[in-house]
Amino acid sequence: MLTKCLLLLVFVTAVACFPNGTFTVDYKNNQFLKNGQPFRYVSGSIHYFRVPQPYWQDRLHKMRLGGLNAIQTYVEWSSHEPSPGHYDFEGQNNLVEFINLAQKEDLLVILRVGPYICAERDMGGFPYWLLRTPNIKLRTSDPNYLTPVDRWLEILLPKIRPLLYENGGPIIMVQIENEYGSYGCDLNYTSHLRDKFREMLGHQVVLFTTDGNGDGYLRCGRIPDVLTTIDFGSGTNVTEAKAILYRHQEFGPFVNSEYYSGWLDYWQSPFVQVAVNPFIQTLQQLLDHNASVNIYMYHGGTNFDFKASGNGGNNYQPTLTSYDYDAPINEAGDLTDKYYAIQKLIKQYLPDTIDDRNVKNVSSKMSLPPVNMTFLATIFDMLPWFVKIHSKYPLTFEQANQAYGFILYQTNITFQPTNPAVLAIPGLRDRAHVFVDRRFAGILSRTQKYFDLSILTHNGSELSILVENQGRCSFSCFSEQRGIIGNVTINKKHLLVNWTIYRIPFQEHSFTEIITQLSQPKTKFRFASSHYRIPSIYYANFTLPNVPEYPLDTFLRTDGWGKGIAVLNGHNLGRYWPVAGPQITIYAPGPYFNEAPDSNQLFVFELDESPYWNDPNNSCQVQFVKQHIVNGAYAH
- In DSSP terms, 421 is beta-bridged to 455
In the three-class reduction of DSSP (H, G, I as helix; E, B as strand; rest coil), residue 559 is classed as coil
318 vs 312: CA distance, rounded Å: 9
324 vs 57: CA distance, rounded Å: 18
Angle at 195 between CA 191 and CA 200, to 5 degrees: 150
* DSSP labels, 238-256: HHHHHHHHHHH-SSS--EE
Q: Give 612-616 contacts, CB < 8 A, sequence gap 24+.
A: 612/375, 612/527, 612/538, 613/531, 613/532, 613/533, 614/560, 616/375, 616/527
Angle at 355 between CA 349 and CA 359, to 5 degrees: 125
Residues 305, 404: contact at Cβ < 8 Å?
Answer: yes
* DSSP labels, 145-170: HHHHHHHHHHHHHHHHGGGBGGGTSS
Q: SS3 string of 327-364? A: CCECCCCCECHHHHHHHHHHHHHCHHHCCCCCCCCCCC
179 is catalytic: yes
**Pairing relation of β-strands 37-39 and 31-34?**
antiparallel
**What count of other Cβ atoms lies within 10 Å of the Cβ of residue 91?**
8
Residues 177, 226: contact at Cβ < 8 Å?
Answer: no
150 vs 193: CA distance, rounded Å: 9
How far is CA 495 from each of CA 20, 417, 420, 423, 471, rounded to the nearest angstrom?
70, 12, 17, 10, 28
Task: Find the catalytic residue in 76, 105, 177, 179.
Answer: 179
Task: Find the catalytic residue in 258, 331, 468, 480.
Answer: 258
- In DSSP terms, 557 is beta-bridged to 585, 623
331 is catalytic: no
| Dihedral (Cα; 401, 403, 408, 410), 10-degree rounding | 20
Closest residue by Cα to residue 111 from 194, 12, 45 = 45
Closest residue by Cα to residue 372 from 541, 511, 495, 246 = 541
Residues 569, 593: contact at Cβ < 8 Å?
Answer: yes
109 vs 73: CA distance, rounded Å: 8
111 vs 208: CA distance, rounded Å: 10
In the three-class reduction of DSSP (H, G, I as helix; E, B as strand; rest coil), residue 187 is classed as helix
Closest residue by Cα to residue 447 from 422, 428, 475 = 428
Sheet with 536-543: list strands edge to edge. Answer: 374-378, 536-543, 599-606, 564-568, 571-576
- Phi and psi at 372, nearest 5°, equal -85, 120
Closest residue by Cα to residue 543 from 603, 620, 595 = 595
121 vs 330: CA distance, rounded Å: 18
Q: How many residues does the chain have?
A: 636
Catalytically active residues are: 179, 258
